Amino acid sequence: MPTPPVAAAPPSSAGELQLAYDGDDRYTVEGEVARGGLGRILAATDRRLRRPVALKEVLESRGETEARFLREVRITARLQHPSIIPLHDVGRWRSGKLYYSMKLVSGSSLEEAIDAKKTLSERLALLPHVIDVAEAIAYAHSRQIIHRDLKPQNVLVGSFGETVVIDWRSEEHTSELQSL
């Protein structure tokens, strides 16, 4: 027997997205792994697909905060590059808070990786990650998108050698990029 559809939330002030209140039924949250000014990152399991994910949850459900969060979702979702965090889904908890799910990257930040390397040769071995970041940013710029908060803490170096740029608090800046 098919599951009845979950009711969608009314359109937010940030736009036309109609988000289902389905996070409580879909994800099992295991704990908080990071926190920033706009939201927090939770390790979780997607029960439907039986895979680990990271969830970013907005800290405050206010108009401007939600608008910024949804802008981040829309822009990040448009960026399809191996070194940019892929988004899986967006929705609302029954509490009304917005969230989005994304790939869970096990590893450390580029900042932690740099701090762990003490010799020049060890640090030079991190150069491929820096090149991956530059390529991801070049790709975003080709799509008229600027990251706005690029720093070693917003780059993940995965356990299997992957490099992933996260936390796209970005905006589209067509006129700025055309003048560069």
Which are the catalytic amino acids?
149
The secondary structure of the chain in percent helix, strand, coil, rounded to multiples of 5, reads 30, 30, 40
Query: Is-contact 129 56, C-beta < 8 A?
Result: no
Give CA–CA dist 178/180, Å, rounded: 6
Instruction: Decide if 26 contacts 56 (C-beta within 8 A).
Output: no
Widest Cα–Cα separation across the chain: 62
